[in-house]
Amino acid sequence: MTTPLPVTGAWRPGDDPGRRRFVTLFEARPHVLEAGGRLSSVEVAYETWGKLAPDRSNAVLVLHALTGDSHVAGPAGPGHRQAGWWDRIVGPGRPLDTDRWFVVCPNVLGGCQGTTGPASPAPDGRPYGSRFPVVTIRDQAVIEAAFADALGIERWAAVVGGSMGGMRVLEWAVSFPERVDQAIVISCGATATAEEIALSSLQIRAVQTDPNFRGGDYYDAPPGHGPHAGLMVARGMGQVSYRSELELEQRFGRGHQGDEDPFQGGRYAIESYLEYHGEKLVRRFDANTYIVLSRAMNHHDVGRGRGGVAAALRRIECEVTIAGVSSDHLYPLRLQYELAELIPRNGGVEVIESISGHDGFLVETEAVGKVISRALG
């Protein structure tokens, strides 16, 4: 018997924490967000690897992408539905060598794996749902800075991230230049492009038009009655944009799924692939979080309120390593070259050769690891 899909794949209080630890921020006063919303408190879920040096000089902040979380390394198991998303990058003898570095990865503000987000209890005890405020990439970096304060880390030896994580790396370097020694920015640009906004907006609409979405207040629905269909369609749209046409053609072509005949209602192999990844996401993610984080990415603009992109990037004081994937059509290399032209201290763009498209920053761990190792020396 197939297990019904959960209404939400969010981690909820009372679930097994796995390797997560928690820090609560802003208990004494509300935190005002960039768009004017307020949060009375924020809980941050995070994981660490390695040991913090006595002088606290070896801390590295790793920032995850849209559907990632704090579990950057380690096996699947209680509390963690999948293995670490950069498992080959973090660990003893690996590019982020935990015999040398104290690696920290928090779940992002608005996320669904322990950090305050739409599925979290609001002050009245009910999930925020539709009441969760608009958050931006800049808000997320501000929360991460307060989180670093709570850990007693005044300055990061490096801040590392790709895609949405790379956006937050840029915000860290611009907003807190005195707190970052090295920034490693992978597969993103200084602002969201029109195409990125268009694709994210369509994915948001797919979730919102699911009848079970209920305006974002679906958490009391029984299992099997969440906004699964909408989230699966959104994930499928995203999945196509994350990969390259060449890779999909080589992997699937016009092949059928098993013995199924598409002329008789069966599926092409690529359709089965998208359905599989859609269901997999539903079991570990939250529809509201998908919307909140997609909107945050749409709002990404390091130049907002700072005199434009060029002026903002001139604020950066640290060394910056910039990398992109050769076949990435969602965050194409031209965006990384633009960063290299505008950021004062950088070594140009390191190109990761891959046919995997945007997801190359997750798939090509050997090449990405070399970029990180060279940056950290």
45-79: pLDDT as tens digits: 999 999 999 999 999 999 999 999 999 999 999 99
Q: How confident is the model at residue 259 (pLDDT cuts 50, 70, 90)?
A: confident
Q: Is 355 helix (H, G, I), strand (E, B) or coil?
A: coil
pLDDT at 1 over 70: no
List active site positions. Answer: 163, 328, 358
Helix axes 164-175, 287-298, angle to 10 degrees: 50
Residue 74 falls in which region: left (phi positive, over 0), alpha (psi -120 to 50) or beta: left
Q: What is the CATH number of domain 21-376?
A: 3.40.50.1820
pTM of the predicted protein model = 0.96
pLDDT at 26 over 90: no
* Of 26-30, 155-159, 185-189, 299-303, the least confident: 26-30
Q: What is the pLDDT of residues 276-287, one digit of tens each?
A: 999 999 999 999
Q: What is the pLDDT of residues 205-255, one digit of tens each?
A: 999 999 999 999 999 999 999 999 999 999 999 999 999 999 999 999 998
Q: What is the mean pLDDT of the chain?
A: 96
Percent of residues, the chain, with pLDDT higher than 70: 99
Q: What is the pLDDT of residues 98-133, one digit of tens each?
A: 999 999 999 999 999 999 999 999 999 999 999 999
Of residues 365, 371, 305, the one with CA closest to residue 336: 371
Average the pLDDT over 256-285 and give the result: 91
**How far apart, in whole angstroms, are the C-alpha atoms of residue 298 and residue 293?**
9
Identify the pLDDT of residue 266: 86
Average the pLDDT over 74-103 and give the result: 97
From residue 341, alpha-carbon distances to 39, 312, 333 in Å are 37, 13, 12
pLDDT at 272 over 80: yes
Q: How confident is the model at residue 28 (pLDDT cuts 50, 70, 90)?
A: low
